[in-house]
Amino acid sequence: MIEAIGVIGGGQLGRMLTLVAKRMGYRVTVLDPQEHSPCGQVADEQIVAPYDDLRAIEDLGRRSDIVTYEFENIAIASVRHLEQHGFGVTPSSAVLAVTQDRVAEKRFARDCGALTTAFASANGRQELDAALAAVGLPAIVKTVHGGYDGKGQWHLASRDDVSALDGAARAPAIVERLVDFACELSVVATRDASDRVIAFPVAENEHEDGILRKTIAPARIDGDVAGRAHETAATIGRRLGIVGTYCVEFFLTRSGELLVNEIAPRPHNSGHFTIDAMPCSQYEQHVRAICGLPLSPPHMFRSAVMVNVLGDGRGDHLCGVESLLADPSIVLHVYGKRHAVERRKMGHFTMLVDGPIDGAVLARAQAAHKKLFWA
Ligand code: AMP
């Protein structure tokens, strides 16, 4: 019987996961190098250690009946270590090996029968030139490992931009053809150990400079596209053999093709709306899946617009909350991070409405966002 959950990574995803796990009666230990992490603030205890400290990882394993993680850029060796020493851990290191490597991830998506943008891998400057020639311009060059929120990415509109690629020329890179998409979509889903997959409504995402700003759920797409997105996400989850909540991000092209961009083996920023708009959130589904409990059918009470609240470097105090919450349709989540560094995800709010999301709702959400500022 599972009574104690270990979480590698102490950020906001771990925090929201832990808040649910605590409500459900579990004991939670988190491992994160930063003391008093957002997740550590709400967990029973925190082990302060780097993610690749195998002794600390083993300590986490000993204190937990099952270990999971809240972000995918942890060392695979840490997850493997737990597996080899008989500790329960999910998702597995095999899942991580696919999702940590942008090239392996895109090949895997294609093996599952999904489409992706044209891509080529490149190790070093010469291969980069050949990959760019094969893929064509405009293109995006990304580091194969470790990038997130637009970090480790370079946009190339013309051959002249290639000179800006010094960083990418050294690290293993993927060159992707830039997609002129109609919109970005994501499917957050949960798979349990008996191969049941439950997907949340498709979400529509707006990014700026590679970082998620806003999610609209359900996405404003027709049923056929939603069906294809759900089917692809379920196939990917099953073929990965993942146990837990995961996310598949897509581009919807102007001609109606769905291209897989990324797979995240964990709850996802674009699934935050499920906390306030559904009876069982992506975090609770994850807890249920990893603890062997039944998954809950996805039922949406209301439509949602989720807006990320980012730091801007001007101060660490969030102001305007009183004015924001004067709108009763808004629920605010703040992650407990001390410094509101520019572009750092500090919190989010969800606006809940009856009926579909239209221009008026989006304008209201934007006006609400403008009420918040840092000082
Ligand atoms: P990623 O880290 O791959 O999720 O990229 C972050 C964001 O950058 C995506 O959500 C898109 O907005 C943009 N992006 C990444 N790859 C591409 C691409 N091949 N074509 C167009 N936009 C992209």
What pLDDT, in 10s, does the model give residues 182-220? 999 999 999 999 999 999 999 999 999 999 999 999 999
Q: Where residue 272 falls among pLDDT bands split at 50, 70, 90?
A: very high
176 touches ligand 1 (CB under 6 Å) = yes
CA distance 22 to 58: 22
- Mean of the pLDDT values across residues 340-360? 97
Contact by Cβ (8 Å): 198, 267: no
105 touches ligand 1 (CB under 6 Å) = no
Please state whether 254 falls in left (phi above 0), alpha (psi between -120 and 50) or beta.
Answer: alpha
Closest C-alpha to 275, from 9, 17, 10, 6: 17
Please give the backbone phi and psi of residue 234, each rounded to the nearest 5 degrees, phi first.
-65, -45
- Give nearest CA residue, ligand 1 atom 4: 262
Both tokens of residue 52? 């690749």
Q: What is the pLDDT of residue 165?
A: 75
Index of the ligand 1 atom closest to the CA of residue 177: 19
- Give nearest CA residue, ligand 1 atom 5: 210
Cis bond before residue 298 (omega within 30° of 0)? no
CA of 161 to the centre of ligand 1 (A): 18
- Mean of the pLDDT values across residues 28-46? 98
Asked whether residue 151 carries a pLDDT value surpassing 80, the answer given is no
CA of 349 to the centre of ligand 1 (A): 23
Contact by Cβ (8 Å): 314, 374: yes
Both tokens of residue 216? 């609209």
Distance, CA of 2 to chain centre: 25
Q: Which residue(s) pair with 8 in the sheet?
A: 31, 69
Place of tokens 């979400």: 203
Number of helices (H) and strands (E) in the chain: give both, helices first.
Answer: 12, 19
CA of 182 to the centre of ligand 1 (A): 13
Q: Where residue 167 falls among pLDDT bands split at 50, 70, 90?
A: low
- Mean of the pLDDT values across residues 47-57? 97
Contact by Cβ (8 Å): 61, 89: yes
Please give the backbone phi and psi of residue 262, each rounded to the nearest 5 degrees, phi first.
-150, 155
Place of tokens 């493997």: 80
- Give nearest CA residue, ligand 1 atom 13: 210
CA distance 342 to 200: 31
What is the pTM for the complete model shown? 0.97
Cis bond before residue 218 (omega within 30° of 0)? yes
CA distance 180 to 131: 20
- Mean of the pLDDT values across residues 91-98? 97
Which of 13-17, 34-38, 97-101, 130-134 is predicted least confidently? Answer: 130-134
- Mean of the pLDDT values across residues 346-374? 97
- Mean of the pLDDT values across residues 334-351? 98
262 touches ligand 1 (CB under 6 Å) = yes
Q: Which amino acid, residue 72? A: E
Alpha-helical runs (H) found in 184-246 = 223-240
Which of 93-97, 149-153, 267-271, 275-279 is predicted least confidently? Answer: 149-153
Q: Which residue(s) pair with 31 in the sheet?
A: 8, 47
CA of 209 to the centre of ligand 1 (A): 9
CA distance 337 to 339: 6
Contact by Cβ (8 Å): 374, 312: yes
Q: 214-263 pLDDT, tens per residue?
A: 999 999 999 999 999 999 999 999 999 999 999 999 999 999 999 999 99
CA distance 231 to 252: 15
Asked whether residue 169 carries a pLDDT value surpassing 70, the answer given is no
CA of 207 to the centre of ligand 1 (A): 8
- Give nearest CA residue, ligand 1 atom 11: 210
33 touches ligand 1 (CB under 6 Å) = no
Q: 194-203 pLDDT, tens per residue?
A: 999 999 999 9
207 touches ligand 1 (CB under 6 Å) = yes
What are the CA-CA distances from residue 218 to residues 36, 87, 270 (Å)?
A: 35, 38, 11
- Distance, first Cα to last Cα, the chain: 47
Asked whether residue 103 carries a pLDDT value surpassing 70, the answer given is yes
Asked whether residue 57 carries a pLDDT value surpassing 70, the answer given is yes
CA of 109 to the centre of ligand 1 (A): 16
- Give nearest CA residue, ligand 1 atom 19: 178
Index of the ligand 1 atom closest to the CA of residue 207: 12
CA of 57 to the centre of ligand 1 (A): 32
CA of 253 to the centre of ligand 1 (A): 13
Asked whether residue 168 carries a pLDDT value surpassing 80, the answer given is no
Q: DSSP class of residue 164? A: G
Go through the domains of the chain in sequence order and give each one's CATH number.
4-89 (3.40.50.20), 118-177 (3.30.1490.20), 181-374 (3.30.470.20)
Q: Where residue 15 falls among pLDDT bands split at 50, 70, 90?
A: very high
Q: Which helix (H) or strand (E) holds 182?
A: strand 181-191
